[in-house]
Amino acid sequence: MKIAMLGTGFIGRFYADSLQGYRSKDKIVTIFSRKEESTKKFAEDYKVAFHTTNMEEAINHPEVEVVCLALPNDLHEEAVMLCCKHKKAVISTKPLGRNAEEAKRMLEAVEKAGIFNGYLEDLCYTPKFLKALESVKSGALGRILWAKSRETHPGPHSDWFWDIERAGGGCILDLGCHCVEITRNYIGKDIKPIEVMCWADTQVKPIDAEDHAIGLIKYENGSIAQFETSWTFRGGLDLRDEVMGTEGTIWVNSFLRTGFEMFTTGKGADYVAEKAESNSGWLFPVGDELNELGYNHMFMDMFNSMEKGTQPRETFYDGYVVNSVLDAAYRSAKTKQWEPVKLDIWRGREGVSKDSHLQDYDADHYLVKEELTHYGAKKVIIKNKKTGKISEKVLN
């Protein structure tokens, strides 16, 4: 693939390293940045012949087949509309929009233009996540009851993140977009999110947006999702997921504990890992950061899907659903109440009732629990279907 890279900042360089390194057949051919100095430096580092401070010029370059958005949130819609104008495939970093209205306009535009669209939700492509999701889909955990995702760190790298107008929000939008889509995958992307309860506050940073938030998302089938996000966490980048089902549980620690631990006084120490706060003491380096954060698998899925003429795992539609959930979270943080998720476009199942949770023990009783005691006896706790009385039986 021949790629136009829009944006030369932190995430743009992560993308470029993966784009030109994993499949070894994709090439960035044009670069856009609003800053001439940044554009030139990026072009030198990645050996790109054409660079410009004109966004449309970068997109409409005759060699470009796909446009990769690594831009601040307030520039996504402009870039997407130019891709539609020039019929260029587009893949966008997260979140898709600053709100659901922006995301909806972008979704409708790319579909009307008939162009390939991919949502670059890298944490839904990490090796651990893909393995965990495979186990969930195979039924190893039974019916999924609860899914939780946490992303916390000391705060983003660029100034625009801290500007509520340009970014559209704080840590809920920046980090919660990851958490919502991770838990949505576990519960089932065809299950409708119904309502959200969220607490958010600005506890540490001198900004107008929130720097810490916790939320709950109810799904139509009775499942619950939980997200924890913070720009105030000290100690690095904390990425953790938990999934609980009727038949099992999964715990995933994606970054802070990698199985690689090192102590150093700091002499000769350099970069350790994304958001690491120190290069001395006990450290937790990451063996292959691009791979562990999902970038390699993400771009492989995007480009393989383009070549096959199929949809990738994550599309603009997914980005729109995520923005809709986060809009409800922001409303809830203000009203202190459960707020409905407003989805003008829904392509999943309708009217999915809460799955039956009752398991028969016999004709007259439901099974509450069975266990093997420490003294070797098997015991069951049961509930009478008619009277509701709870009792226990010790079995030989």
Tell me, yes or no, whether 209 and 333 share the same domain: yes
Q: pLDDT tens-digit profile of 46-58?
A: 999 999 999 999 9
For 74-123, give the DSSP string: GGHHHHHHHHHHTT-EEEEESSSSSSHHHHHHHHHHHHHHT--EEEE-GG
Tell me, yes or no, whether 216 and 322 share the same domain: yes
CA angle 312, 23, 308 (to 5 degrees): 35
Tell me, yes or no, whether 372 and 327 share the same domain: no
The pLDDT of residue 268: 64
What would you report as the CA-atom Rg of the chain, rounded to the nearest whole angstrom? Answer: 23
Tell me, yes or no, whether 288 and 190 share the same domain: yes
Tell me, yes or no, whether 103 and 245 share the same domain: no
Final residue belonging to a domain, choices 340, 357, 376: 340
Structure tokens at 68: 């990769």
Final residue belonging to a domain, choices 72, 105, 120: 120
Tell me, yes or no, whether 144 and 290 share the same domain: yes
Q: Is residue 351 part of a domain?
A: no
Return all residues near 153 (Cβ < 8 A) that are at least 6 apart: 230, 231, 233, 236, 237, 238, 275
Q: CB–CB of 100/342 below 8 Å? A: yes
Distance CA 171, CA 123 (A): 16
Distance CA 155, CA 171 (A): 8
396 residues of the chain, pLDDT tens digit each: 999 999 999 899 999 999 987 788 899 999 999 999 999 999 999 999 999 999 999 999 999 999 999 999 999 999 999 999 999 999 999 999 999 999 999 999 999 999 999 999 999 999 999 999 999 999 999 999 999 999 999 999 889 999 999 999 999 999 999 999 999 999 999 999 999 999 999 999 999 999 999 999 999 999 999 999 999 999 888 999 999 999 999 999 988 776 788 788 877 666 666 666 677 787 777 778 888 899 999 999 999 999 999 999 999 999 999 999 999 999 999 999 999 999 999 999 998 887 777 889 999 999 999 888 888 889 999 999 999 999 998 887
The pLDDT of residue 163: 94
Q: Is residue 306 part of a domain?
A: yes
Tell me, yes or no, whether 99 and 130 share the same domain: no
Q: Is residue 356 part of a domain?
A: no
**Count of domains observed in the chain:** 3
Tell me, yes or no, whether 130 and 211 share the same domain: yes
Structure tokens at 252: 């995933």
The pLDDT of residue 269: 62
Tell me, yes or no, whether 104 and 133 share the same domain: no
Q: What is the CATH number of the domain that holds 276?
A: 3.30.360.10
Q: What is the CATH number of the domain that holds 92?
A: 3.40.50.720
Tell me, yes or no, whether 45 and 31 share the same domain: yes
Whether cis (ω within 30° of 0) applies to the bond prior to 156 is no
Tell me, yes or no, whether 268 and 373 share the same domain: no
Q: Is residue 358 part of a domain?
A: no
Q: Is residue 353 part of a domain?
A: no
Question: Model's pTM, two decimal places?
Answer: 0.91
Q: Is residue 9 part of a domain?
A: yes
Domain range enclosing 369: 365-395
Query: Letter for the amino acid at 28?
Result: I
Q: CB–CB of 192/349 below 8 Å? A: yes
Final residue belonging to a domain, choices 71, 95, 120: 120
Q: Is residue 346 part of a domain?
A: no
Tell me, yes or no, whether 279 and 296 share the same domain: yes
Q: Is residue 57 part of a domain?
A: yes
Q: CB–CB of 226/145 below 8 Å? A: no
